[in-house]
């Protein structure tokens, strides 16, 4: 697509591609958004480090093949690997003209074979729709030749920029069951009205609706997150104490960030050789008045 352009070669060979406003890092397959008018859509930490080995604290981080803690490093290795661009990607299956997209690919490396002994092809399609909607589609295929299945969990670790966290409401998760990451993933049921924030939160909402709305009252705008193939949704804000403990996170950054992440955590996905899984997250921003009553 003509809208995809390569804009820079950064230190340590992080090649940076761009889709109108969004920057795409081959390191981690990570998408960020930043402009100078403080109109950020995706939060990027004021102390973010834009070089390996850690993922950039902000934007959308890919968590694969493990969400959270477990046998692998937290959130898996995909966010700490160099992805490559597919210069000859398959086209959109339907008549979706007017969309710019870029396909990134991640495959097993020799080094990774020691920690996760499976061959796979991970195709991440980053698509920009009319009005700046951002759609991420992941296709993960088992390319094992030894007949073995593999199992994974997944999340689009999405850092939304919010004007003031204490004025934010999340709609679509009320009354759902969740696993509380702050309590060893114990299961609870959310009570009452829309979700608001006044302290640290780290929850995995289970089997959520496909549409979640994040209302930024101050800015009078609403993020609409739609998802497909990803039954769960993670909501995370470290609040003040944990913010201070993170070297790449500004002390006050927690006031301007809310992570809402389309995810598949509770029931891991298993793929047999030759099988493919698809998981999609779409993010759009609309004026709050437009959204209310929908």
Q: Summarize as ranges the residues that interact with ligand BG6 (CB under 6 A).
A: 68, 74-75, 157, 181, 202, 234, 236, 259, 261
Q: Is 111 noted as a catalytic residue in this protein?
A: no
Q: How far is the CB of 240 from ligand BG6 (least distance, A)?
A: 15
Q: Which of 40, 171, 261, 282 is catalytic?
A: 261
- Rounded to a whole number of angstroms, the minimum distance from the CB of residue 98 to ligand BG6 is 33
253 or 261: CB nearest ligand BG6: 261
Q: How far is the CB of 150 from ligand BG6 (least distance, A)?
A: 22
Measured from the CB atom, is 186 or 218 closer to ligand BG6?
186
**Residue tagged active-site, from 157, 159, 171, 282:** 157
Q: At its nearest, how many Å lie between ligand BG6 and the CB of residue 122?
A: 19
Q: With respect to ligand BG6, which residue has the nearer C-beta, 75 or 125?
A: 75
Closer of 75 and 118 to ligand BG6 (Cβ): 75
DSSP string, the chain: -TTEEEEEEEGGGEEEEEETTEEEETBTTEEEE--TTS--SB-B-TT---STTSPPSBSEEEE-S-SSSSSSSTT-SGGGSB-EE-SSPPPPSS---S-EEEEEEEE--HHHHHHS---EEEEEEEEE-GGG-EEEEEEEEE--SSS--EEEEEEEEEEEE-S-GGGEEEES-TT-EEEEGGGTTEEEE--SSSB--SS-EEEEE-S--SEEEEEETTTTEEEEEEEES--EEEEEE-HHHHHHH-TTS-TTGGGGEEEEEEEEEEEEEEE-TT-EEEEEEEEEEEEHHHHTT-
75 is catalytic: no
Nearer to ligand BG6, 26 or 60 (CB): 60
| Beta carbon of residue 146, minimum distance to ligand BG6 (angstroms, whole number) | 31
- Residues designated catalytic: 157, 261
């Amino acid at each position: 697509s003509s809208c995809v352009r390569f804009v820079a070669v950064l230190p340590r060979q992080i090649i940076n591609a761009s889709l109108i406003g969004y920057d795409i890092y081959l390191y981690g397959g990570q998408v960020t958004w930043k402009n100078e008018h403080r109109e950020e859509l995706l939060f990027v930490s004021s102390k973010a480090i834009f070089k390996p080995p850690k993922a950039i604290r902000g934007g959308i981080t890919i968590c694969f093949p493990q969400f959270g803690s477990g046998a692998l490093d937290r959130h898996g290795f995909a966010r700490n690997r160099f992805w490559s661009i597919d210069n000859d990607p398959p086209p959109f299956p339907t008549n979706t003209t007017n969309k710019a997209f870029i396909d990134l690919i991640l495959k097993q490396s020799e080094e990774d074979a020691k920690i996760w002994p499976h061959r796979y092809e991970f195709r991440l399609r980053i698509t920009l729709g009319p009005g700046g909607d951002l759609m991420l589609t992941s296709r993960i295929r088992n390319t094992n030749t030894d007949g073995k299945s593999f199992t994974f969990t997944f999340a689009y670790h999405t850092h939304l920029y919010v004007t003031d966290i204490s004025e934010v409401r999340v709609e679509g998760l009320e009354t759902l069951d969740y696993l509380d990451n702050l309590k060893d993933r114990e299961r609870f049921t959310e009570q009452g009205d829309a979700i608001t924030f006044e302290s640290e939160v780290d929850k995995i909402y289970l089997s959520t609706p496909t549409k979640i709305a994040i209302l930024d009252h101050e800015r009078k705008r609403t993020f609409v997150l739609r998802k497909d193939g990803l039954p769960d949704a993670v909501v995370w804000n470290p609040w003040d104490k944990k913010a201070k403990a993170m070297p790449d996170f500004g002390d006050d950054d927690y006031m301007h960030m809310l992570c809402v992440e389309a995810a598949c955590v509770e029931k891991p996905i298993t793929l047999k050789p030759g099988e493919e899984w698809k998981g999609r997250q779409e993010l759009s921003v609309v004026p709050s008045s437009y959204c209310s009553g929908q």
